[in-house]
Amino acid sequence: MQTEFDLIIIGAGCAGLSLGMQLASLHAQAPRTLLLEPRIAYENDRTWCFWGDEQTPFATLARHSWQRFSVNNAASRALVDCSTTPYRLLTGADFYTKALEAITSHTALDLKTGISLTAEPSLIQGMWHLLTTDGSFSANAIVDTRPLPTQQLSDTTLWQSFLGCELEFHEPRFDPTSAQLMDFYPATEAFVGFNYVLPLSTTRALVEFTVFASKIYDQAELVSYLDAQVEKFAGGRPYQRLRNEYGLIPMGVGKPKGTVKPKGAVKLAEQHSSYVRVGLTAGAARPATGYAFQRIQRWALACKQSLQKTGLPVGHQPDSFVIRQMDAIFLNVLRHHPELGPELFMRLFSKVSSEKLIRFLSDQGRVSDYLAVILSLPSGPFIKSAYQVATTR
């Protein structure tokens, strides 16, 4: 059994598999890579959504796409045309299948499932050493995709918690040409809540209840909200629950508390360019939205190119100063005034053109897009929030 590698990827979820696929595309030049994943088998346990044309990574693998979407509250509705960059849904099952085919067919890449670390990686004479439930391994570099424990993320501005289920009705209940991005729960001082509906056919849809809040909502806390939304669609008619999914995304990750440094690490970070952390708790998700899939694809490409050129991995590219400030100010408003959330999102989606808004949400924004977003929102709470953000950093 091979035990020495050029690279070890800890965790073969979305980020780990995305990098694995990029490395497989190097063919004979691919580094000897070991991917370690604790799960035994991959299931259809999640979905990823993004806007994009046909050239967007994984666009052609999407199970469904929508040319328009709506944002609603009790008093108004905004219908957004996104036909030039449709909103697309990629299932976990389709992503895993494609990734596993690419990785397992390459002789330089070795994916081991059902494997966990028994100790933190240690750096000994320039090599990283890992002890696992399947023995010991070593590598020149490590990409660590494991999420940090939530207790180390106490400075996170908001948490996005969601619980969803895929429903199948016996008769038509949905319009498969239009997604419902946000249907807001009545404004509260505890959270910004909304129903998220992605129709896959006239009888099938993914229905999720999502919360933006300063605390984490576990599955049990979200069940009653989701059940109420499901019953609203059912209207007493029979249906089947095909599967469930729960997710938790940090929005505005602060400096991790009490992070355990890899054993043997010295103080100078530049001496550890061979060890990077990636994933949702390391900058993969856009703070103000939680969208991460396409950001992960851009990182995986950049990491492949860096490994090919220097032999060293790279982490997620930091957002621009403008994006960081805008996201921080917006999240700060939602944290302190969640009751304003439905109104703010309605203004954003009804006052900003679809092209500008989608570019902004997809990290492709231009100066004119940033300005349009700023002008769509009420100045009062944002000026106060900008002051708070500036004086606490």
Cα atoms in the Cβ-side hemisphere of radius 13 Å centred on 141: 22
What is the separation of C-alpha 327 from the centre of its chain, rounded to a whole number of angstroms? 16
Going by C-alpha positions, the residue among 15, 10, 13, 85 that lies closest to residue 303 is 15
Q: Given the DSSP bridges, would you call strands 122-124 and 33-37 parallel, antiparallel or unpaired?
A: unpaired
* Homologous superfamily of the 158-251 domain (CATH): D-Amino Acid Oxidase, subunit A, domain 2 (3.30.9.10)
Domains of the chain: which residue ranges?
Answer: 4-46+90-147+254-310, 158-251, 321-391
Instruction: Tell me the average pLDDT of the chain.
Output: 92
Cα atoms in the Cβ-side hemisphere of radius 13 Å centred on 201: 10
Q: Which residue has the higher pLDDT, 59 or 232?
A: 59
The pLDDT tens digits of the residues spanning 8-53 come to: 999 999 999 999 999 999 999 999 999 999 999 999 999 999 999 9
Question: What does residue 387 show for φ and ψ, rounded to 5 degrees?
Answer: -65, -45
* Residue 386 binned pLDDT confidence (cut-offs 50, 70, 90): confident
3-state secondary structure of 27: helix
What is the separation of C-alpha 53 from the centre of its chain, rounded to a whole number of angstroms? 19
Instruction: Specify burial of residue 319 (Cβ count, 10 A radius: 0-12, 13-18, 19+).
Output: middle
Q: Which residues neighbour 157 within 8 Å (Cβ) at sequence distance 6 or greater?
A: 214, 251, 252, 254, 287, 328, 331, 332, 335
The pLDDT value given to residue 104: 96
Going by C-alpha positions, the residue among 121, 48, 125 that lies closest to residue 89 is 48
What's this model's pTM, rounded to 2 decimal places? 0.92
* Residue 268 binned pLDDT confidence (cut-offs 50, 70, 90): very low
Cα atoms in the Cβ-side hemisphere of radius 13 Å centred on 211: 23
Residue 263 pLDDT greater than 90, yes or no: no
The pLDDT value given to residue 233: 84
Question: Scanning the structure block, which residue is given the tokens 């240690």?
Answer: 122
Average pLDDT for 326-342: 93
Rounded Cα distance between 173 and 205, Å, is 9
Q: Which residue has the higher pLDDT, 196 or 257?
A: 196
Rounded Cα distance between 17 and 292, Å, is 14
The dihedral sign for the CA sequence 182, 370, 85, 352 = positive
The pLDDT value given to residue 257: 62
DSSP 263: B
Which whole-number Å values give the CA distances from 281 to 42, 271, 296, in the listed order? Answer: 22, 22, 12
Average pLDDT for 126-135: 95
Question: What does residue 246 show for φ and ψ, rounded to 5 degrees?
Answer: -125, 140
Average pLDDT for 144-171: 93
The pLDDT value given to residue 256: 67
Rounded Cα distance between 29 and 345, Å, is 47
Q: Percent of the chain at pLDDT above 90?
A: 80
Q: Percent of the chain at pLDDT above 70?
A: 95
Q: Which residues neighbour 329 within 8 Å (Cβ) at sequence distance 6 or greater?
A: 382, 385, 386, 389
Question: What does residue 206 show for φ and ψ, rounded to 5 degrees?
Answer: -95, 120
Residue 390 pLDDT greater than 80, yes or no: no
Q: Which helix (H) or strand (E) covers residue 112, if one does?
A: strand 109-113
DSSP 117: B
Residue 101 pLDDT greater than 50, yes or no: yes
- Are 134 and 122 within 8 A, CB to CB? no
Residue 383 pLDDT greater than 90, yes or no: no
CATH match of 4-46+90-147+254-310 with 3.10.50.40: no
* Residue 258 binned pLDDT confidence (cut-offs 50, 70, 90): low
* Residue 141 binned pLDDT confidence (cut-offs 50, 70, 90): very high
Residue 107 pLDDT greater than 90, yes or no: yes
